[in-house]
């Protein structure tokens, strides 16, 4: 999957503000180590996040984006990991479970994750 394919997919499947929040939450889960997606799917979701981080969400604050950027760069910083953990928990309590499940089902049904499936299990 390439950034160009993600951009094309987004043009055909524009995300609503709540779906932008869902994608941000998945990125927080990836950084927190709590995401249960396959490794290839995590790569696709990180690419999706890169494309939508400039779009407005419904509930989540834009202050998360610099935090996510720092976590992606610094990875091993313990204080940053704790902050990501707190922000992930807050995001997960802000967005209902059915909304998150609906978002994940939609991106699968619309073909975003079809090329990213692999046999590796998420650790």
pTM: 0.89
Domain boundaries, the chain: 3-114
Q: What is the dihedral of CA 88, 72, 65, 97, to 10 degrees?
A: -30
Coil, strand, or helix at residue 36? coil
Show pLDDT as tens, one digit a residue, over the chain (123 residues): 899 999 999 999 999 999 999 999 999 999 998 999 999 999 999 999 999 999 999 999 999 999 999 999 987 788 898 999 999 999 999 999 999 999 999 999 999 987 554 433 333
């Amino acid at each position: 999957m390439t950034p160009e394919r993600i951009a094309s997919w987004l043009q055909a499947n524009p995300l609503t503000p709540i779906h932008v929040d869902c994608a941000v939450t998945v990125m927080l889960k990836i950084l927190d180590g709590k995401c249960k997606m396959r490794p290839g799917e995590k790569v696709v979701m990180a690419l999706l996040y890169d494309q939508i981080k400039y779009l407005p969400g419904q509930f989540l604050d834009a202050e998360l984006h610099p935090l996510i950027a720092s976590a992606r760069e610094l990875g091993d910083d313990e204080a940053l990991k704790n902050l990501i953990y707190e922000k992930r928990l807050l995001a997960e309590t802000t967005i209902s479970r059915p909304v998150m499940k609906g978002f994940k089902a939609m991106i699968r049904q619309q073909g975003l994750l079809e090329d990213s499936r692999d046999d590796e299990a998420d650790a």
